[in-house]
Amino acid sequence: MDAGHKRASNRPIGSPLERIEDLRFLRGRGTFVDDLAPEGLLHAAVLRSSVAHGRIRKIDGAVALTRPGVHAVITAADVVAALGQVPVITMRQELLPEFAGYQQPVIAHDKVRYVGEPLAVVVADSAALAEDALEAIVLDIEELAPVADRAQSRSDHSRLFDASNLVGTLTALKGDADAAFKNAAYVRRERFEVQRFTAVPMESRGFVAEWDDASGHLTVSGTAKVAWHNRRMLAKHMGLAEDAITMIEADVGGGFGVRGEFYPEDFLVPFAARRLNRPVKWIEDRREHLLATNHARDAECELEIACDSDGTIRGLRGHGAVDLGAYIRTNGITAARNIAQVLSGPYRIPDIKIDIALLMTNKTPSGTYRGPGRFEADFFRERLFDLAAKDLGIDRVEFRRRNLVSDAEMPWKMATVMPLDIGTETDNGDYEVTFDRCLDEFGWKKKVALQGRLIDGRYHGIAVGCYLEGGGSGPRENTRLVLEADGAVSVYIGSSAIGQGIETVFAQIAADALDLPMDRIRGVFHGSTTHVKQGYGSYSSRSTVMGGSAILAAAASLKDAIRAAAAKRCGCEAASIALDGDKAIAPGGRSITFAELAVDQLSAEGTYASNKRTYSYGTHAAHVAVDPGTGHVALIDYVAAEDVGRIINPLTLHGQTVGAIVQGLGGALLEELVHDENGQLLNGSLAEYLLPTAGDFPVIRAVALELKPAPHNPLGAKGAGEGGIIPVGGVIANAVANALSSLGVEPRALPLSPPRVWAMIQEARA
């Protein structure tokens, strides 16, 4: 990776250090939730609805309870008997009063609304015994007409709830879009669609819950992402004080937005453990994951652009819709809000009006997945831009360059989303620099000669697209630094590890701030409610920005505490104490080691609070070759150039960027959750749901720059975990369109799988 001519630093920050956590993973010493086996452990299995929409008449677990090794069969009736009601999963973000009625109960009790919804839990001596006993549960469900897609949802012919299937509409507003279109020299409208797919992390979800009846304390292992938020919700559901619950984050095999939100199992497994006063484990299998974990994307948009004859964009307006599935779970509105707000991307578009309808269907609820809403919005916008440039006879590169927001125009205000009343503006950036760098690295001027050419039976196409990534979400993060007996320092942080390498990055930040060697950072302990009083977790590319800045604050306080302790011993002013590595040096030359000072049990807390988001930005370019006989799209070359503010670790950044691009390519070319007219998932295994493999996309190049450090946080860092995925769909679709331009193929929907591309070719030829 070329990190913008980044040199190896003598300081920890900026050095391309290999990930500390990889040593234990590669040696098989990680501790994932399924590795936990406390004494007396029982296993849970979840009975899930095979009906997409129906009224529950009867759930009888009496026979299942007589099966060998079965300890409990838990239904909604048991939850009501214990708590007086069936709790619902409340929203974590973007909650409006009108959304409350669409939240999910932790277990179905009157209706089922999607295939995979929990109906009962069996707890037994083994997972196999629990799964076998599921078959003995007697069910009587009156099937109702399913709402299988957005069109059926709009008709309201069958309703999931008493109210309309249309929950509401989000509207992004800036300027006067209708006025911008009145006298525009050029107008074009197109309809685009992004399929339903999901994150599929390597490790599926799971929990081990332990109830201590004597102390009335619950411990839940396997939480991730937002442990403190989930603890608050679980405490409320179970009628416990928050401090009566400990959430422990084990090692996590990937998150990508879907893992760590509050799901029914977050309640059901602890409820079972408390009911039986025994540890209970539940591990999601892959079919359950595809059925029950948040789905994502699944959006359409009819988008319209207004331009002057020279290609200057005057306005953008449109009407879109998202399929939220059967319930609005914790962050189910986030993607829709992002679609509305970031459809303008990094471009100078003065007048905007985008309506996004929120529709309910009998599918698994949707949530966030890496780059939520931004992946969809970039596909919609970048496809429309290529079509507009072609109509206007303007080179697609110059069309984009002409409309990029300039450095002098920063900060650039984006549209405000109503009725959420959420507005935002970029922090800083020089979009043209990353644009030109990408084109240079890609070799655009030479490769443009390949555009649309048929070579050895394949059509070649290239494309370019730009994006920005909002990250660093507030409101705050907390940390605690502890001076250990040997003079090393331990870092305790409220951020969560979900595979992004925070043990390494936070150790670098702490070592740099304390001016210590990396090996003097004893460890980074993260994501568990035992570590700090209040934590906020990892989402929206916030870990380094918020957690890292909190470490800086704590480090400053710890150094003050060390100076004060040394000054007391030396009989001098604390301000006169100099720190040199792990020694405190008094004015007369006397030195005291940190290990000697550790007897004072020195520690320091740090908080960083901000509601100013960071905005990374960049440009991607792709070269594809399309086989017209099979519809297969081969990736020949892919280049990404991005500015992420201050780079803490070029190696971990490279992994984030390339990994995100590969996920984007999966969504652009392969992945799709397919449902039939009855709401049944047709490809619920990895034999049918196609994921990218190591050999699919061998040529991906990434260039990271740090030209514009973030102005609103002391690190100068910007969130960079999602940028790699955001522009991929639009870039690939435009490259395919350019490859097949002689045939008149214009993709308007993803994924561009071989059958879909082949069908488009046949239709064009016909």
Q: Which of 1-5, 343-347, 397-401 has the lowest mean pLDDT?
A: 1-5
Q: Decide if pLDDT at 381 tops 70.
A: yes
- The token pair at 182 is 């009145």
When the pLDDT of each residue in the chain is averaged and rounded to a whole number, the result is 97
How far apart, in Å, are the Cα atoms of 296 and each of 92, 197, 256, 373?
17, 6, 11, 9
The whole-number average pLDDT for the span 31-50 is 98
Q: From the CB of residue 747, how many other CB atoms can be counted at a distance below 10 Å?
A: 22
Alpha helices in 188-263 (DSSP H): 227-238
Q: What CA dihedral angle connects 527, 531, 532 and 535, to 10 degrees? A: 10
Least-confidence region, from 9-23, 58-72, 522-536: 9-23
Q: What radius of gyration, in Å, describes the C-alpha atoms of the chain?
A: 27
Neighbouring residues of 190: CB distance < 8 A, sequence distance ≥ 6: 302, 303, 304, 383, 384, 387, 748
- Residue type at 396? R
Name the nearest CA neighbour of 72 among 292, 280, 235: 280
- Residue 572, Cβ density class (10 Å: 0-12 exposed, 13-18 middle, ≥19 buried): middle
Please tell me the distance from the alpha carbon of residue 627 to that of residue 620, in angstroms, as a whole number. 23
DSSP string, 487-538: S-EEEEESS--SSS-HHHHHHHHHHHHHT--GGGEEEEEES-TTTSS----S
Residues 6+ apart with CB under 8 A from 55: 110, 111, 141, 142, 144
pLDDT at 277 over 90: yes
What pLDDT sits at residue 6? 46
**Structure tokens belonging to residue 269:** 């497994």
Residues 347-373 have a mean pLDDT of 98
Could you read off the pLDDT of 567-584 as tens digits, one per residue?
999 999 999 999 999 999
How do 280-283 and 42-48 pair as beta strands?
Answer: parallel
Specify burial of residue 161 (Cβ count, 10 A radius: 0-12, 13-18, 19+): middle
Span 599-620, pLDDT tens digits: 999 999 999 999 999 999 999 9
CA 696 to chain centre: 23
Mean pLDDT of 244-268: 96
pLDDT single digits (tens) 583-596:
999 999 999 999 99
- 694 band by pLDDT with thresholds 50, 70 and 90: confident
Torsional sign, CA 643, 644, 650, 655? negative
Averaged pLDDT for residues 86-100: 94
Distance of CA 251 to the CA centre of its chain: 18
The pairing of strands 633-643 and 701-705 is: parallel
Contacts of 454 (CB under 8 A, 6+ apart): 460, 742
Residue 365 has pLDDT above 90, yes or no: yes
Helix axes 548-570, 502-514, angle to 10 degrees: 40
Residue 308, pLDDT score: 98
Which DSSP category does 12 fall into?
S
pLDDT tens per residue across span 134-169: 999 999 999 999 999 999 999 999 999 999 999 999
Taking the C-alpha atoms of residue 76 and residue 74, their distance in angstroms, rounded to an integer, is: 7
Reply yes or no on whether the pLDDT at 5 is more than 70: no
Q: How far apart are CA 442 and CA 436, in angstroms?
A: 10
Four-residue CA torsion sign, 130, 133, 134, 135: positive
Spell out the domains of the chain, with CATH numbers in brackets.
Answer: 426-465+614-766 (3.30.365.10), 474-609 (3.30.365.10)
Please give the torsion angle defined by the CA atoms of residues 246, 247, 250 and 252, in that order, rounded to the nearest 10 degrees: 180
What letter does residue 33 receive in the DSSP assignment?
Answer: G
Across 600-610, b (16+ Cβ under 10 Å) vs e yields eebbbbbbbeb
Query: Is a pLDDT exceeding 50 seen at residue 1?
Result: no
Specify the 3-state DSSP secondary structure of 460. Answer: strand
Share of the chain above pLDDT 90, in %: 98
Element (H, E) at 58: strand 54-60
pLDDT in tens, 334-359: 999 999 999 999 999 999 999 999 99
Angle of helix 374-392 versus helix 334-342 axis, rounded to 10? 30
pLDDT, residue 9, reads: 57
pLDDT band with cut points at 50, 70 and 90 for residue 3: very low
pLDDT surpasses 60 at 2: no
State the pLDDT at residue 95: 87
What's the pLDDT score for residue 296?
A: 98
Amino acid identity, residue 536?
Answer: Y
Q: What is the DSSP letter of 453?
A: -
Inter-helix orientation angle 728-739/374-392, to 10°? 30
DSSP assignment letter at 84: S
**Contact between residue 643 and residue 469 where contact means Cβ atoms under 8 Å apart:** no
How many helices, marked H, and strands, marked E, lie in the chain?
20, 30
Looking at the predicted structure, is the pLDDT value of residue 550 above 70?
Answer: yes
